[in-house]
Amino acid sequence: KNQVEQSPQSLIILEGKNCTLQCNYTVSPFSNLRWYKQDTGRGPVSLTIMTFSENTKSNGRYTATLDADTKQSSLHITASQLSDSASYICVVSSNQAGTALIFGKGTTLSVSS
């Protein structure tokens, strides 16, 4: 069964600190993986998109990694800011016909001052 598991479920860090969020997936055949940021009460917004051949991709203070062999991805946030407080969702696409996007449950990040 196609699944996306994220850890931790929630995380609290101090402003200025770094953190890493994890995403493990069992989706096959794999097409690509995206990380989304969802502010409370809003729709998710894409942070990064990674295909099978990409290992690392950065978007400002956000760096995503992908290990297609172990089917793992991580999202590293550097020098966290209060505005980083949100839910971060890992989404995997499959090439299989008739399969929609497969969402993880998200990691809720709280950045405190």
Partner 1 sequence: DGGITQSPKYLFRKEGQNVTLSCEQNLNHDAMYWYRQDPGQGLRLIYYSQIVNDFQKGDIAEGYSVSREKKESFPLTVTSAQKNPTAFYLCASSAQRNTEAFFGQGTRLTVV
* Least distance to partner 1, CB of residue 71, Å: 17
Structure tokens of 39? 């502010």
Structure tokens of 57? 């991709």
Shorter beta-carbon distance to partner 1: residue 15 or 62:
62
Interface contacts to partner 1, rule CB under 8 A: 31-32, 34, 36, 41-46, 49, 89, 91, 93-95, 98-101, 103-106
* Least distance to partner 1, CB of residue 63, Å: 19
Q: Going by C-beta distance under 8 Å and a sequence separation of 6 or more, which residues neighbour residue 41? A: none
C-alpha to C-alpha distance for 88 and 19, rounded to whole angstroms: 12
* Least distance to partner 1, CB of residue 106, Å: 6
C-alpha to C-alpha distance for 37 and 24, rounded to whole angstroms: 17
